[in-house]
Structure 1
Amino acid sequence: MGDSRHEWMRPGAVEVAPGVHRIPLPLPNDGLRAVNVYAITDGDVLTLVDGGWALQAAREQLAAALGQLGAGLGDVRRFLVTHAHRDHYTQAVALRREYGSAVFLGQDERDTLRTQQNPAHRPLDRQVALLTACGAKPVCDALLAMRGERANADDWEDPDVWIDESTDVGLLDRPLRAVPTPGHTRGHLVYVDDAAGLMFAGDHVLPHITPSIGFEQAPSAAPLRDYLASLRLVRSMPDMRLLPAHGPVTDSVHRRVDELLDHHDRRLADTAEVVERGAATAYEAARALTWTRRERAFADLDPFNQMMAVLETAAHLDVLALRGRLRREDVDGVVHYAS
C-alpha cells in the first residue's frame, strides 16, 4: 500500500495502547475500504469494540490477527458495538452463533433493527422515501434501478444487551463507559477509558473524513442537530487519544472535533448561500454545491454518492431551518426552503 494514508489498512493486530490492539478488516466495494475493530485484553479473554462485516475475508483476517495475540475467535467474550451499521454489527452476530459471545448495542438502535428485521423491508427503502421529499426523483430512479433484493434478515438479530445509562460495560481489568453520541445513527455510542485516556469512537469522530448523516433506516427528525450536539459533548470532555473505526489512531479527539465543527459551520454557510441564490429543495441545493475535498460536481458522483450528497444537504437545510435562518414548507410532498 504505497499511499501512507492507507497504511492503517494493513492486515494484522497493532498495539495502540497497553492491552489494546487495532485490527483492520476488509470491506467490499466500499470507499472506506476497511473498518477497525479493537481487541481489548481482559484477563484471559478478549473484548472487541465493533465486529466488522460478516464476510469470509473479514472472518479470516480477524482470526489471523487474533492468532498474533495467541487467541482465537472463540476467545472473544463479548462485542461492544458502536452502532448498527453492517460493517460494525453483522460479524459480531455471526460469531455469536458459533461461539456464544455476547453482543452489546445502544438501546436507541432498536428502531433500526426492527426495520432491518421486517420481511417486507428492502435495502434503501428509507433513503428512497427521504429522497422523494428532497425532490430528487432522478437519484431515486437510479437507486431503484441498481438496488439489490432483500438482505439476509439473520444479520440483524437483537443484541444480548441493550445499553442504556445504567448498563455496566466495564471490564475486569479496565473501566469503560458507554457514552451516547447520536447523529451518525440514533443509537451511536462511543466507549471511553478515562483512566487510559482512550476513546473508541466508532464513526462519530473519524480522522480523515466527515461521518455521513442520515444513512440509516430509522433516522431521527434532525440527525445533524444531534450530531453537532454530540461533537460538542465529546469536546467538553478531557482530551483523549482517538481510536476511530476508519483511519489511523491519532493523539487528539479535540483537534479533530474542532475540524469537524469548522467544516459543518462552513457547510451550513455554503448551503444557506445556494438557497439565497435560488435553490429551493435539497436536490437543487446539492446540485449547486461541490463534493469531497476535491470539490467534485454533483453530476460527477455515482448514484449512491449522489444520494448521500442530497441527504447530507437536507440535514444541513433542516438545521438552518431549526435555527431560524431558513423557512421550511412542504409542497405536494416535497420540502422547500427559502430565506
Structure 2
Amino acid sequence: MEITGIAQREAWLKKVIPPVECVAVGLWSVPVVFPRNPMRYTLAYVLVDGDDCLVIDPGFDSPQGRLDLQAGLGAAGVGVKNVTGILATHFHTDHLGMARWLRQMSGAEVILGRAEKRYISAFEDPADESAADRGRMRTWGVPEDRIHEAALDVAGLMHLKRLADADLRVGDGDLVPASANKLTVVETPGHTPGHICLRDESRGVFISGDHVLPRISPNVSLEMRGDTDPLRSCLESLERIEMDDDFEVLPAHEYRFNGLAQRARELKSLALGRSAEVLALIQAQQNPTVWSVAESLRWSRGFQSLGGLQLRLALSETAAHLQYLRTAGSKHDVEGLPQHQVVG
C-alpha cells in the first residue's frame, strides 16, 4: 500500500487536524472536527464541476464543524449557497450529522444509499427503545453496573432521530446527481446496511467512506433492526471492490492511499482471523456470552479502558462475529451460545 496523503498522515500521527487539500481537479478534501471522539475528524469531500457543487460526508454538526466545512468550501471557491447536492456514504453522525443544517442553508437535496434506512432510530417511543436496548445488553451478559454505558439512552436516540432524512436514494451503478454525472455508486453494505462508496473514473479516485480505511479496521456491528449478518455483508463488499485497484482511495478518516485490492484483502484476513479468535474463546468458555467473549479479545486500547460508545461498538462487533460464525453452518458450530444472545 502506498500512502498518497502525506500531509494527512503526518497530521494523523501528530493528532492534529490536517489541511484542506485539492486532491484532484475540482475535488477538495476537507477535515471536519468530530468532537470528543478518538477519530478526531471526518474527511468531507467537496466536488465542484461547473454549476454542480456536491458535498460528500459533511461531518458531525457542531459550531466548529460548520466553520471547518465553510472554510473548505471557500478553498474550493464556493460558499454554502452554492451547494447543489449533499451525499452521505452512510447513516452515522460523523458523516450525515451536518446534512440537515447544510440543506437548510443551501436548499440542496440529501442523498443516501437505497438500503440506508433508519434502522437504529426506527422507533416510536425513545424510552421504550432504550429499555429494549438495555434488555438486549442483559442478554449479552453485560454486568448491570455497565449497562448504562453500553445501551443507547433517550438523549442519544433522539439525537439519531434528528438526523436528516434522504430526499433522494441511489443504488449500485447509479450516477450521483450534482456531480456532473462523474460519480458512480458502489453499494458496500457491512459497516452499515446501506453504506455506499463512489467511483470517479475521470479523476481516478475511489471515495470509500468507512468501508475501507488505510490503518483502522472499520467497525461492523450487529444492531437491532439492522443487517442480520453484517460481517458476511462486509466480507462480500470487500470482495466486490478489489477490481478497483487502479484508483486512489479517498477515505473518510486517516489519509489517502493507493492499493485498494491489497487493503481489501488485508481487511478480509483480519476479520476472518478475528472470527477464528472468537470461535476459540467460545469453545474454551463454559458459559460464553457476548460480554465474556468481548472482554477476552485483544483490543487496541484494551477492553478495560473502553467505555460509552467505544464499549458499545466492541460488544456489537463481537456479536457480529458470533452471528457470522452461527450462519456459517456446522463448520463453525457455535455451541453453548443461546440464539437470543446473538441476534440483534
Please give the TM-score of this superposition, normalised by the length of structure 2.
Answer: 0.85
| CA separation of 1:19 and 1:220: change in aligned 2, threshold 3 A | same
Q: Secondary structure at the match of 1:256?
A: helix
| CA separation of 1:150 and 1:122: change in aligned 2, threshold 3 A | farther
Between stretches 65-74 and 33-42, larger displacement belongs to 65-74
- In the alignment, is residue 305 of structure 1 matched against residue 310 of structure 2? yes
Q: Contact 1:177–1:192 at 8 Å: present in 2 too?
A: yes
- In the alignment, is residue 71 of structure 1 matched against residue 113 of structure 2? no
**Partner letter of residue 41 of structure 1?**
V
* 2:202 equivalent in structure 1: 195
1:270-309 aligned at under 5 Å gives the runs: 270-278=277-285, 280-292=288-300, 296=302, 298-309=303-314
| CA separation of 1:146 and 1:167: change in aligned 2, threshold 3 A | closer
* 1:134 equivalent in structure 2: 140
Between stretches 327-336 and 301-310, larger displacement belongs to 327-336
* Deviation (angstroms), 1:290: 1.5
| CA separation of 1:192 and 1:222: change in aligned 2, threshold 3 A | same
Q: Contact 1:185–1:216 at 8 Å: present in 2 too?
A: no
* 1:321 equivalent in structure 2: 326
Between stretches 182-191 and 310-319, larger displacement belongs to 310-319
- In the alignment, is residue 209 of structure 1 matched against residue 216 of structure 2? yes
* 1:259 equivalent in structure 2: 266
* Deviation (angstroms), 1:49: 1.2
Task: Find the aligned partners of 1:261 and 1:149 in 2 and give their Cα distance.
Answer: 31
Task: Find the aligned partners of 1:36 and 1:126 in 2 and give their Cα distance.
Answer: 34
- In the alignment, is residue 164 of structure 1 matched against residue 171 of structure 2? yes
- In the alignment, is residue 53 of structure 1 matched against residue 60 of structure 2? yes
* 2:234 equivalent in structure 1: 227
Task: Return the match for 2:30 from 23, 36, 41.
Answer: 23
**Partner letter of residue 89 of structure 1?**
L
Q: Secondary structure at the match of 2:285?
A: coil
* Deviation (angstroms), 1:161: 0.3
**Any idea what the Cα deviations from partners look like across 1:312-336, whole Å, max 9, x if unmatched?**
1111121112223123677495459
**Partner letter of residue 213 of structure 1?**
V
* Deviation (angstroms), 1:73: 1.0
Task: Find the aligned partners of 2:267 and 2:277 in 1 and give their Cα distance.
Answer: 15
Q: Contact 2:221–2:316 at 8 Å: present in 1 too?
A: yes
* 2:88 equivalent in structure 1: 81
Task: Find the aligned partners of 1:253 and 1:41 in 2 and give their Cα distance.
Answer: 25
- Unaligned residue ranges in structure 2 (runs of 5+): 1-7
Q: Contact 1:113–1:157 at 8 Å: present in 2 too?
A: no
**Partner letter of residue 135 of structure 1?**
G
Task: Find the aligned partners of 2:131 and 2:55 in 1 and give their Cα distance.
Answer: 31
Q: Secondary structure at the match of 1:169?
A: coil
* 2:4 equivalent in structure 1: none
Q: Contact 1:239–1:252 at 8 Å: present in 2 too?
A: yes
| CA separation of 1:7 and 1:71: change in aligned 2, threshold 3 A | farther
Q: Contact 1:131–1:307 at 8 Å: present in 2 too?
A: no
Q: Contact 2:48–2:179 at 8 Å: present in 1 too?
A: no
* Deviation (angstroms), 1:192: 0.8
1:98-177 aligned at under 5 Å gives the runs: 98-112=105-119, 115=122, 118=124, 120=126, 128-138=134-144, 139-143=146-150, 148=155, 151-152=158-159, 155-165=162-172, 167-169=174-176, 173=180, 175-177=182-184
* Deviation (angstroms), 1:183: 0.6
* Deviation (angstroms), 1:266: 1.5
* Deviation (angstroms), 1:166: 7.0
Between stretches 215-224 and 145-154, larger displacement belongs to 145-154
Q: Secondary structure at the match of 1:191?
A: strand
* 2:98 equivalent in structure 1: 91
Percent sequence identity is: 28
Task: Find the aligned partners of 2:57 and 2:156 in 1 and give their Cα distance.
Answer: 26
Q: Contact 1:181–1:187 at 8 Å: present in 2 too?
A: yes
Task: Find the aligned partners of 2:299 and 2:161 in 1 and give their Cα distance.
Answer: 35
* 1:33 equivalent in structure 2: 40
Q: Secondary structure at the match of 1:274?
A: helix
1:175-190 aligned at under 5 Å gives the runs: 175-190=182-197
* Deviation (angstroms), 1:228: 0.8
**Partner letter of residue 99 of structure 1?**
S
| CA separation of 1:90 and 1:142: change in aligned 2, threshold 3 A | closer
**Any idea what the Cα deviations from partners look like across 1:2-36, whole Å, max 9, x if unmatched?**
96434695354201122211000001111111001
Q: Secondary structure at the match of 2:126?
A: coil
RMSD: 3.0
Task: Find the aligned partners of 1:121 and 1:224 in 2 and give their Cα distance.
Answer: 29
- In the alignment, is residue 5 of structure 1 matched against residue 12 of structure 2? yes
